[in-house]
Amino acid sequence: MTLAIPDFTAIQEAHRRIRPLIHRTPVERCRTLDQLCDAEVYFKCENLQKVGAFKYRGATNAVQCLDEVTAARGVATHSSGNHAQALALAARTRGIPAYVVMPKNAPQVKVDAVAGYGATIIPCEPTLQAREETLAEVVADTGAYFVHPYDNPQVMAGQGTAAVELLEDAGALDVVITPVGGGGLLSGTAITVSALAPETRVLAAEPLGADDAARSLAAGELIPSVDPDTICDGLLTSLSPRTFTVIQRSVTAIITVSDDAVKRAMQLVMERMKLVVEPSAVVGLAALLEKRDQVPGRRIGVIFSGGNVDLGNLPWMGDQ
Amino acid sequence: MTLAIPDFTAIQEAHRRIRPLIHRTPVERCRTLDQLCDAEVYFKCENLQKVGAFKYRGATNAVQCLDEVTAARGVATHSSGNHAQALALAARTRGIPAYVVMPKNAPQVKVDAVAGYGATIIPCEPTLQAREETLAEVVADTGAYFVHPYDNPQVMAGQGTAAVELLEDAGALDVVITPVGGGGLLSGTAITVSALAPETRVLAAEPLGADDAARSLAAGELIPSVDPDTICDGLLTSLSPRTFTVIQRSVTAIITVSDDAVKRAMQLVMERMKLVVEPSAVVGLAALLEKRDQVPGRRIGVIFSGGNVDLGNLPWMGDQ
């Protein structure tokens, strides 16, 4: 069986489709960070995207692609992260129902956020098995269309639109770095960059405590994420065969970073750029700060993936 | 004796002078805040200005206005706040010395920031008298030019340039709201708005625990700030006769807000806009959230004055 994988034309179509519905997020610079990284760094600020994360691009593209009959039955997913909020708002924007399966122990603030976008929340036991079973029941009951957070060609195509804008605004780059969790953003970015700027390398960054993508790329086979342990709560998931196929084809390297480097990067962005970012968002900057020798070139694009963080519990609190 | 007060021409000249040296900060919108405020709110983001505060505008204008001979002797001030950093960087940019008198108990992070911009720091006892005496000695010893944080026509003119950009980017507004501490930003804004948009009202917002400007406006005479008590550490100072003259002439009202409203506004901006702001910066938004009935009209410009906040000690930490 061949996996459906979007090409760059699909990303261009996605961009035309979602452009009126998303924010064109800014590309920011910071002199202090340029000095610390010994580079010219162009930060694509998807923390300023709707729902505070690039996930809104992919969810919107997937929802907008549905035919009227399918759309009318609604969309469903299981997630306690940014994809849940993204799908909920994308569905509300199209005026269709969204069903989100969330573990009972999900933080109330996340449940409230998803409910605030008008989704129906279906609580389940906090195991992957329970989540998948509950989702299957919801889909069977409602006929809703399951939008996977990354293993979906329309979602991948939507995520690839951030890099289109980054290249438009920053000009020629030596490298683009994204975070990697399930690989939706990374694979979409790789397809865009390969088409628009074949000389530009695509790298990813990943926390050491969830380094399954780096190990998969090194091993040449998909190694699932088992018991990940990192403050980067958006990067805990495993690649899918679909995203891994693209990553193997077009990604030069995946750099692993310590949670300490993530913490430092996050603090620098908030102090110096005055931007709120979540830990997962800054692994690319952390790679530049911690392992600059592994990043070739001087003109570097970094995608800040999101800004949804508990401001009452920032990772450096409790430190001396 | 007549006090020198800048007119709008001085602000236009200041803008031409400093434009190449400052950031043109963005004017941002936020749908959630529009809904909460029942208004269209245009946020001028001076937290994204160099050194993280509008103070860089006034300091840069004052430093750039000096003749060569005066400039060569350097500039001096006493401050532990954003003006100290602003003057230090403005001086370094012109290539002249800066002397900053700081109380011995100033937080090390602030001392480091000022030193990081290359200023010479002169520690003094933590009383206003000691600060003024030490500054007088520094000026006598070095011949440096004293740049007051607000009671200075060039500084006031520089601060008035933020409103020029706000009106250019937001279009016609019913109201512009700024914080008020010493009155530099407020008076500069009032001069700009009176000239460019005489139908637009200028309001200020002030913490209840440092409401000397509101009381001064009500009493028709300058009432100094005594023992202020608020989390808005940038708004503790008294007006000067110079800033008060402008405020009496052109400011419609000064709205007082509770520290709780400031805290809530700050949290909303960080959570929803993903922007780091300091407590003093959001008193205008707090006024809209807490006392919307005191703000006429629907199209409202709000100046976020700065983003220099201790991220290890945000005001809601320790709350339940």
* B275, B312, B319: residue with CB nearest A275: B275
For the cut 90, the answer to whether the pLDDT of residue B110 exceeds it is: no
What are the helix (H) ranges across A31-98?
31-37, 55-65, 68-73, 82-94
Which DSSP letter does residue B267 get? H
Please state the rounded mean pLDDT for residues B42-53.
Answer: 97
Q: Does the beta-carbon distance from B311 to A316 stay under 8 Å?
A: yes
Q: What is the DSSP track for B43-108?
A: EEEGGGSGGGBTHHHHHHHHHHHS-HHHHHH-EEEE-SSHHHHHHHHHHHHHT--EEEEEETTS-H
For residue A130, what pLDDT is reported?
A: 94
Which DSSP letter does residue B160 get? T
pLDDT band at B25 (very low <50, low <70, confident <90, very high): very high
Helices (H) and strands (E) in chain A, counts: 14, 10
- Least confident interval from A261-270, B30-39, B309-318: B309-318
Q: Which of residues 12-71 of A touch B (CB under 8 A)?
A: 26, 47-48, 52
Query: What whole-number distance in Å separates Cα of residue A58 and Cα of residue A150?
Result: 8
Task: Indicate which of B274, B313, B314 best probes the interface with A, i.e. most A CBs within 10 Å of its own CB.
Answer: B274
Given a contact cutoff of 8 angstroms between Cβ atoms, the answer to whether A137 and A158 are in contact is no
* Model pLDDT for residues B119-154, shown as the tens digit of each residue: 999 999 988 899 999 999 999 999 999 999 999 999
For residue B1, what pLDDT is reported?
A: 62
A248 CB-contact burial (10 Å; exposed 0-12 / middle 13-18 / buried 19+): middle
- Tally A–B CB contacts below 8 A: 43
For the cut 90, the answer to whether the pLDDT of residue B297 exceeds it is: yes
Which DSSP letter does residue A54 get? T
Query: What whole-number distance in Å separates Cα of residue B55 and Cα of residue B208?
Result: 23
Structure tokens at A57: 């691009």
Q: In what order do the strands lie in the sheet with B299-304?
A: B27-28, B40-45, B299-304, B175-179, B201-207, B253-257
Q: Does the beta-carbon distance from A311 to B271 stay under 8 Å?
A: yes
Query: What whole-number distance in Å separates Cα of residue B19 and Cα of residue A205?
Result: 38
B199 min Cα distance to partner chain A (Å): 32
For chain A, 320 residues long, the average pLDDT of each consecutive 10-residue run is 92 98 96 96 97 97 98 95 96 98 88 94 92 96 97 98 98 98 98 98 98 98 95 95 98 97 97 97 98 97 96 81
Query: What whole-number distance in Å separates Cα of residue B261 and Cα of residue B292?
Result: 12
For residue B80, what pLDDT is reported?
A: 80
* Tokens 């409790």 -> residue: A318
Which DSSP letter does residue A143 get? -
CB atoms near residue B199 (< 10 Å): 9
**Four-way CATH pick for A8-53+153-304: 3.40.50.1100, 3.30.413.10, 3.50.50.60, 3.40.50.300:** 3.40.50.1100
For the cut 90, the answer to whether the pLDDT of residue B107 exceeds it is: no
For residue B53, what pLDDT is reported?
A: 97
For residue A117, what pLDDT is reported?
A: 94
Given a contact cutoff of 8 angstroms between Cβ atoms, the answer to whether B177 and B284 are in contact is yes
Query: What whole-number distance in Å separates Cα of residue A98 and Cα of residue B8?
Result: 54
Nearest to A214 by CA among A228, A198, A199: A228
Q: In what order do the strands lie in the sheet with A145-146?
A: A120-124, A98-103, A75-78, A145-146
* Tokens 């830990």 -> residue: A279
For residue A1, what pLDDT is reported?
A: 62
* Model pLDDT for residues B57-67, shown as the tens digit of each residue: 999 999 999 99
Cα-based distances in Å from A156 to A36, A56, A185, A236, B68? 32, 11, 7, 18, 59
Q: Does the beta-carbon distance from B311 to A307 stay under 8 Å?
A: no
Query: What whole-number distance in Å separates Cα of residue A294 and Cα of residue A286?
Result: 12
Please state the rounded mean pLDDT for residues B69-91.
Answer: 96
Q: Does the beta-carbon distance from B276 to A267 stay under 8 Å?
A: no
Span(s) in chain A for CATH 3.40.50.1100: 8-53+153-304, 56-146
Q: Does the beta-carbon distance from A319 to B312 stay under 8 Å?
A: yes
A316 min Cα distance to partner chain B (Å): 7
For residue A109, what pLDDT is reported?
A: 81
Q: How many CA atoms lie within 13 A of A29 on its CB side?
A: 12
A24 CB-contact burial (10 Å; exposed 0-12 / middle 13-18 / buried 19+): exposed
Q: Is A212 helix (H, G, I), strand (E, B) or coil?
A: helix
What are the helix (H) ranges across A104-152?
108-116, 128-142
pTM (two decimals): 0.94
For the cut 70, the answer to whether the pLDDT of residue B224 exceeds it is: yes
Query: What whole-number distance in Å separates Cα of residue B307 and Cα of residue A30?
Result: 15
For residue A84, what pLDDT is reported?
A: 97
CB atoms near residue A275 (< 10 Å): 26
Angle, CA B88 vertex, CA B132 and CA B312 arms, to 5°: 90
Q: Cβ contacts (< 8 Å) between A277 and chain B: which residues?
A: 274
Hey, which bits of B118-225 come out as E strands?
Answer: 120-124, 145-146, 175-179, 201-207
**CATH number for region A56-146:** 3.40.50.1100
For residue A312, what pLDDT is reported?
A: 87
Q: Cβ contacts (< 8 Å) between B26 and chain A: which residues?
A: 26
Given a contact cutoff of 8 angstroms between Cβ atoms, the answer to whether A19 and A50 are in contact is no
Beta pairing, strands A98-103 & A75-78: parallel
Given a contact cutoff of 8 angstroms between Cβ atoms, the answer to whether A127 and A150 are in contact is no
